[in-house]
A and B are shown apart, each in its own frame.
Chain A
């Protein structure tokens, strides 16, 4: 009896130790969801950025199919993470487009700085009465700067095809 008790106590300790030692250090759910979002910060999901949308998903306030830039693959990844059903992208929130970056037609720019605050990633450079420009490498293609421009000098340009960016996936 005593032996059994000792064995069980030992096993209990062992399990406790193993639990502590092997415990998976997991990110909070919001962070995990946020990592699967494209970070375009475009707000097409009706939240002001990817993180707020991730919080809404985690609190079951939003569906997983509200992010057009993420596309079907992104919905699938979210569904896998959350154990939810895969749904097609909700067209209310927009359609998935080919990746593009904003470009300012510089001779048309009047330097009104209206496009600078909407940019979620501070990718537009410019000052009042000065010509503005987009840092292409940092632009997420969210299109939030298009509508504030009073002279419509911002356009979306698809990524240019070049041998340098070419990959074997483009071969087929």
Chain B
């Protein structure tokens, strides 16, 4: 009833915070080709690729080097020509900091390209064909989740609105913005392809109001009435799918529901560009724009980087580190992951490398100010969740909808006591998952044990029955023999 009192005038989604942009939009520079490109075969949770090259093989740029090994995997393509020198464990860009099997490609600098198969008449092609082409180009959501785009476009329910996400709400990151300025026309082409595949009538490109140049470029590139462009307030996390939908349509997607169940689909603007390249140019996804920035880097800029390039080579292309280089973050400062080494190679979802001084703060006790609940875009009670996760009351965590936490970090940033809330929530989520898994495993073991017990019992019973039968038969024979004797 009193909800209108809390609604902020500027914000059009619940919660969120205004952050300093720190964005230095620059022209996109192409760095020199790295000597070595590294491709992890581990793609994301439960998604692996299988190497289809051998050590010593020569591969061309755009050639498939690994094929999907699980239902939600995508192929990997070589980003440059050269020789496969090893398939070995290397540190990968993952919060675990673990090493996984990687294909190592030694580049020859010649950029021998595999012949492309452009498809200019995509409007004449059926959706299945285009989806397959997108799948074979190895395209995943470039916004961060790395979900295979072909799978996402295979909607079982009708989609009424396609949203192209150009919000880029995290500070420091400007790769999408500079891509929009450079390739607005191609992005629109890619968007039209997605629209053709999905057969949606409405398409909205959503962009933060702090990016006038990119907005103007996209606006002038739109030559059709099928695509609209709409500004959203620069409030973090405006780029979250549900927040973005609420910001542009006013419609609130319930916590447990997926956005496509309400007829929406979101695609990142960089994904749109990759789809243009895959269909119109016939080029697989082997390069992306990445922002290299932060106080720890000499020249912050956006690079057209080959996927698989080790971070140190990109740093080199930005004139190297300053003496503030104390931590290396892949992604933005709010939701990125800290990497242990600059030997790690960038992957398809790497949108930013942030090199910053370390900022540590002492945690103080919670004073229950409630600011965290105010900024939570998922309308959770972080403070309450924190108490429950600290006292390991996992059931209560689930009751208070821990699963809806998008780990955006807003609560951390406003917390006066500097409590690492997101970290606590991630641990709580992991504990709950683990508990769940253990219960499932125990149930399986129990079932198998009980089946075995039943089987043993049944066999024993059958044996006893047979024995009894045989005994009875012998008795019968004996009796018959005795009878004969008598006669």
Contacts and interface: CB of A to CB of B under 8 A. Distances in A.
Interface of A: 34, 37-41, 49-51, 120-123, 138, 140, 161-164, 166-172
Contact of B445 (A121, A163, A168, A170): A121
B112 to A, nearest CB: 32
Interface in B120-160: none
Contact of A121 (B96, B430, B452): B452
A38 B98 contact: no
Given A39-B445, A164-B42, A51 B450 contact: yes
B92 interface: yes
Contacts of A123: 448
A167 B427 CA distance: 8
22 contacts: A39-B441, A39-B442, A40-B445, A49-B449, A120-B445, A120-B449, A120-B452, A121-B444, A121-B445, A122-B448, A138-B444, A138-B445, A138-B448, A140-B445, A164-B45, A167-B434, A168-B429, A169-B430, A169-B434, A170-B96, A170-B430, A171-B426
Contact of B446 (A34, A166, A172): A34
A163 B453 contact: no
Nearest to A34: B446
A161 B429 CA distance: 19
Contacts of A170: 96, 430
A162 B448 contact: no
Contacts of A171: 95-96, 423, 426-427
Given A122-B452, A162-B98, A163-B42, A168 B446 contact: no
A81 B76 CA distance: 52
Interface of B: 42, 45-46, 48, 92, 94-96, 98, 100, 423, 426-427, 429-431, 433-434, 438, 441-446, 448-453
Contacts of B45: 164
A41 B92 CA distance: 38
B95 A168 contact: yes
Given A39-B441, A50-B449, 17 more contacts: A40-B445, A41-B449, A51-B450, A120-B452, A121-B444, A121-B448, A122-B452, A123-B448, A140-B445, A163-B96, A164-B46, A167-B434, A168-B423, A168-B426, A168-B427, A168-B429, A171-B96
Contacts of B443: 39
B431 A163 contact: no
Contact of B98 (A49, A120, A163, A169): A163
Among A51, A121, A123, the most chain B Cβ lie within 10 Å of the Cβ of A121
A136 to B, nearest CB: 12
A29 to B, nearest CB: 17
A166 B94 contact: yes
A38 B437 CA distance: 12
A50 B45 CA distance: 33
Nearest to A121: B448
B444 A163 contact: no
B448 A168 contact: no
Nearest to B446: A39
A39 B449 contact: yes
Contact of B431 (A38, A50, A166, A169): A169
Contacts of B42: 162-164
B92 A163 contact: yes
A50 B446 contact: yes
Given A38-B442, A39-B443, A167 B430 contact: yes
Nearest to B40: A163
A40 B449 CA distance: 9
Contacts of B429: 168
Nearest to A168: B426
B388 to A, nearest CB: 16
A39 B439 CA distance: 10
A153 to B, nearest CB: 23
Contacts of B98: 161-163, 166
The 3 closest A-B pairs by CB, nearest first: A167-B430, A166-B96, A168-B426
Contacts of B434: 167, 169
Contact of A49 (B423, B431, B453): B453
